[in-house]
Structure 1
Amino acid sequence: MLEQRNGDAVDARTGGADAAHACEYLSFTIGREEYGIHILQVQELRGYEAVTRIASAPDHLKGVINLRGIIVPIIDMRIRLGVAEPSYDQFTVVVILNLRDRVVGMVVDSVSDVVALTAEQIKAAPEMGGAFSTEHLIGLGTLGDRMIILVDIEKLMSGEEIGLIDSAASGKVAA
């Protein structure tokens, strides 16, 4: 399945990686698991800082920050995915993302490194039936003993979250 990304057609499953060329992913941890997102979606990394809370926002929307004049919604992925109890310390990182011309912050436990994966190193996500949706997963990257859960962050942030982000960025919260 091809999709447009930064003006280029790329394979949505591999993020553009093929057998001869590797595609780079930023790897990060949430709880005990390691995740990865396409490096071209990352704008910058920041330490966690106090956010301005928005009344009636869901728990995973921690609030907003002012990043050089841009109001950026901050989503705690630990809460959003329900995989770890959030704690904020010197290792907590906010990954600033560019998603469909929107700037969004994503709170994770820590950032590991940038990994290069070829299409051969990316396996399809297993079908789980009705247990839970895997539509936001690109696949599972294997690098030696490491298994990295590759996330299509745009799909994960779409729908309800994007509507909330638009409202949060304009200073309003959807009813």
Structure 2
Amino acid sequence: MFSSNENKTDISFGKINSSYWVIFGKSLCWLLLGAALGFAFFYFFKDLSVLLINKFKFLQGIFGIREYQEGIGFASVLLMIVIGNLLSTAAYFALGYLRALIPIAVLTGFFVVVLMAAGTVRHQSAVPMEVVFLLSGETLYRVFAVTTGEHFHKNRIKKRWVLISSLTAVLIMFAGTAIYEMLQIFG
């Protein structure tokens, strides 16, 4: 009486929802929503944003923003960049695995925009394009990391090649942004 086509659509819809690129698209959309909310928050609460950033500078480290201080050696800076970004990237993967993609993507978008916009007020200058490129690259590989974590949770080891290729892409972007950051600091 019932056709088996109904079950096939349910299965294919489930496969679509567990597709890496669908998860990535959702993550990117949530990130952009968070960025829009961050821009609106900064626009309406500029002074509060700057006050909070000054008071809670440790938030900058969570999202990959560090202020370079003169006199720090090349090896120390490289170690700081690699360890800090590696820990945060692993945390993004773990949060994706724990199915926290929506809140982490929204919060990341929100705080990245607020931190960058507050920096323009604090330093009395526009954000250099190099910083925008760097922060965009770091945010992108973190989006890939949280997507990979959620995809791994949904599919386990069924699609091993997706896990391996996405982790490889994250590591390549991670290395690229670390090299770019070192070039910006030490020229």
- Scaled by the length of structure 1, the TM-score of the pair is 0.29
- Scaled by the length of structure 2, the TM-score of the pair is 0.28
Greater helix percent: which structure? Answer: 2
